[in-house]
Amino acid sequence: MLFLTMAWRNVWRNRRRSALTVSVIALSLTFNILMRGIGDGFHEQMVDNSVRAHIGHLQVHRSGYHDDPGLNRTLPDPAAVQRALAALPGVRGYSLRVLGDGLASTDDNSAGIAIVGIDPTEERTVTTIERAITEGRYLDGPDPRPILVGDRLATTLKTRVGDKVVLLVQAADGSMGAQLFRVGGLFRSGSPDLDRNVAYVRRSDAQDLFALGDRVTEAVVLLESSAAVEGAQASLAAALAGGTYEVLTWSQVEPFLEQFIVLDDAFFYIIVGILFIVISIGILNTILMSVFERVREFGVMMALGTRPRQVVRLVVLEAIVLAAVGSAVGGTLGSLATLYFADAGIDLSSFAEGAASIGITTTVVYSELTAANVILSNLAVFVLVVLVALYPAVHAARLRPVDAIRHV
């Protein structure tokens, strides 16, 4: 308690210098928490957008489908998958789909596309494709063989709502399948890949087109929480263990997403690391100055019987006082700033095109405040400050009392 009292008072002996140091610590912590919060929110939104746009949290296929997709690898027993999903806790919805490639042709142009056969009602529980419709209507209307195309694909095909589109495919039995569809709606998901290359049709129409009968190629699952993905994957894989299935998470389906997040995190930590090095030099300077100014005091303390490790403790405690005040201020400011941007968001509309290319389909990024962010950021600052304080602390502890007392 005595050393803590001394540390507290020593810190405030030079108020201006300590206030400056506390400000540096607080600002770095604020920056760290806010940037981490924006990063977390950005990643969460990116994943959520991709998950909700098309891929879901989990996908169930016949084994080997992901590496070599084809109509010969349909789900062995869709009913068994449905039963397993019905029994799995935390499932918000699922959609059984037919996926195949084909050629879309209009009077003016043609393009190779991915054809996704969906049940409109099921799909509504998993993806946001219905909400992405900008013109026309969803696939649940009375019209025969409607097709939803992305706005970029519509531009390529020079087609509009109500126009005819012929889909030409190689069916599961090897025959050529061709069907006439009519554009029921246009969508803009924000994902250039989806908007340029994908068309949605009813699942039954796709099954006819690809001569699949009632077979489907995948089940796409949306969970209540993205945090439960790994657990749900394991549970579902266990439930389907008797069959030849593969259960993949979003990150396995789209490894690019996870790689991007890892890379983005790496850049963040590099920037924070550089920032912390610069801050460390400042803090080291402050504590060294403080030690050099008190050489005689340390000499007196040691002459009176203070042990070297107690001198180290005093200097480190002073650093901890600085870190604690800086953390309190920075933690509060960082949390408040993160909460503010979690509500107000950060307008990135000027970067919309670039953001869309990496799966960010909204023009406003919302930060996310997590306990882990605040705790880890504070911990990092504490560890940094204590480590930085060790050098001047050891320097003080190694002073010879007889020399230190004479120090002017």
Partner 1 sequence: MSLLTLANVTKTYGNHVGVRAVDDVSLVLERGAFAALAGPSGSGKTTLLNLVGGLDKPDRGTIRIGEAEITAMPPSALADFRLRRLGFIFQAFNLLPVLTVVENLEFVPALQGMAAAERRRRAHDLLAKVGLADVGGKRPNELSGGQQQRVAVVRAILTEPDVVLADEPTANLDSANAERLLEMMQELNRERGVTFLFSTHDPQVMARARRLIRLRDGRIDADDTHSSATTQTRP
DSSP annotation string for 62-104: ETTTTTS--TT---S-HHHHHHHHHHSTTEEEEEEEEEEEEEE
Q: At its nearest, how many Å lie between partner 1 and the CB of residue 5?
A: 7
Do 154 and 185 meet the contact criterion of CB atoms below 8 Å apart? no
Q: Which residues bind partner 1 (CB under 8 A)?
A: 2, 5-6, 9-10, 13, 296-297, 300-308, 310, 400-402, 405
CA proximity to 143, closest of 156, 166, 162: 162
Can you tell me which residue has the tokens 């969803």?
138
- Tokens at residue 188, please? 């803009």
Nearer to partner 1 among residue 80 and residue 300 (C-beta): 300
In the complex, minimum distance from the CB of residue 48 to partner 1, in angstroms, rounded to a whole number = 54
DSSP states along 321-342: HHHHHHHHHHHHHHHHHHHHHH
Kindly tell me which of 13 and 83 has the beta carbon lying closer to partner 1: 13
Residue closer to partner 1 by CB (options 216, 301) is 301
CB of 317 to partner 1, least distance (A): 13
Phi and psi (nearest 5°) for 181?
-120, 160
Q: Minimum distance between the CB of residue 298 and partner 1, rounded to whole angstroms?
A: 10
DSSP H helical ranges for 99-202: 120-124, 151-157, 192-197
Six-digit token pair at 376? 């880890």
Cβ closest to partner 1, residue 28 vs residue 306: 306
Query: Shortest gap between Cβ of 251 and partner 1 (angstroms)?
Result: 55
- What DSSP element (H or E) covers 275? helix 255-293
Rounded-to-integer distance, Cα 277 and Cα 134, Å:
50
Residue 303 beta carbon to partner 1: minimum distance, rounded to whole angstroms? 5
Q: Please give the Cα distance from 356 to 348 (Å, whole number).
A: 11
Those residues with Cβ within 8 angstroms of residue 194's Cβ, 6 or more apart along the chain or in another chain? 53, 54, 150
Instruction: Give whichever of 158 and 400 is closer to partner 1, judged by the CB atom.
Output: 400
Q: How far is the CB of 8 from partner 1 (least distance, A)?
A: 9
- Rank residues 13 and 92 by Cβ distance to partner 1 and give the closer one: 13
**Closer CB to partner 1, 194 or 291, in the complex:** 291
